[in-house]
């Protein structure tokens, strides 16, 4: 597409057909060999050498590589996405969330403030006041947030219950082990025991890896198959 809009040359008919192997027609369109090793053989080496030399001699490159600008070089231009940073002590998270007010109700506390672990936004979950319309369906604030934050996938922490929720699609979800543990290494979903909770870095890294590798929909499907009670929950209302 870039090549087409750069020089106005239309793509061949082979690239406009669906269900064909487009690699060879694409290489022909770009005037490149189908075997990339040919770029560095006896025939292609001189052309590649010329391209590399021209790139290295470009004024912008020589300026960037000068001694004065060595400290400003971007060595890792693409950072790996991370879930938000959570406090070590769970009480700090509760104190922070206690200041949250429902955005649709004047001065009213939210019954179930829920923290998005992808972007850090706090939402008013499982409440009629913050429901939104999504594709002609009425969904909760968390489910609607997944489509603006995570392309339909979300990771949420219900702070007052210390409950971690994974959402995918408009009506699928499951519970997941929260990353906060007490001194005995146990979770306290619902905060019934009242023991002090601290962030477990290993569990949070596990959640981070699951999210980063796009494994949340698979985890939800696995839990829905193994636990029928999860299918009765109206996940779209969260």
Q: How does pLDDT run across 32-70, given as a tens digit for each residue? A: 878 877 777 776 677 778 888 888 888 888 877 776 776
Beta-carbon count within 10 A of 114 CB: 29
User: Which residue numbers in the chain have pLDDT < 70?
Assistant: 18-19, 43-44, 67, 70-71, 75, 106-110
Burial class (CB in 10 A: 0-12, 13-18, 19+), 57: exposed
Cα separation values, 99 from 62, 87, 92, Å: 52, 16, 12
- Supply 114's token pair: 């829920």
pLDDT for res 59 = 85
- What pTM value is reported for the model? 0.68
pLDDT for res 71 = 67
């Amino acid at each position: 597409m870039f090549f087409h809009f750069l020089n106005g040359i239309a793509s061949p008919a082979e690239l406009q057909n669906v269900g064909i192997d487009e690699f060879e027609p694409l290489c022909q369109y770009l005037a490149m060999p189908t075997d990339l090793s040919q770029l560095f053989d006896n025939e292609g080496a001189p052309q590649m050498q010329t391209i590399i030399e021209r790139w290295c001699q470009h004024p912008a490159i020589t300026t960037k590589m000068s001694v004065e600008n060595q400290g400003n070089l971007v060595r890792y231009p693409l950072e790996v996405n991370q879930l938000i940073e959570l406090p070590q002590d769970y009480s700090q998270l509760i104190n922070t969330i206690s200041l949250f007010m429902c955005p649709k109700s004047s001065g009213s506390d939210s019954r179930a403030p829920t923290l998005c672990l992808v972007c850090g936004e706090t939402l008013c979950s499982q409440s009629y006041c913050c429901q939104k319309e999504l594709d002609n369906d009425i969904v909760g604030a968390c489910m609607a947030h997944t489509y603006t934050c995570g392309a339909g996938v979300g990771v949420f922490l219900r702070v007052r219950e210390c409950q971690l929720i994974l959402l995918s699609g408009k009506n699928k979800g499951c519970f997941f082990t929260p990353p906060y543990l007490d001194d005995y290494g146990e979770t306290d979903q619902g905060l019934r025991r009242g023991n002090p909770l601290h962030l477990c870095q290993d569990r949070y890294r596990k959640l981070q890896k699951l999210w980063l590798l796009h494994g949340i929909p698979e985890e939800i499907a696995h839990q829905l198959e193994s636990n029928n009670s999860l299918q009765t929950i109206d996940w779209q209302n969260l």
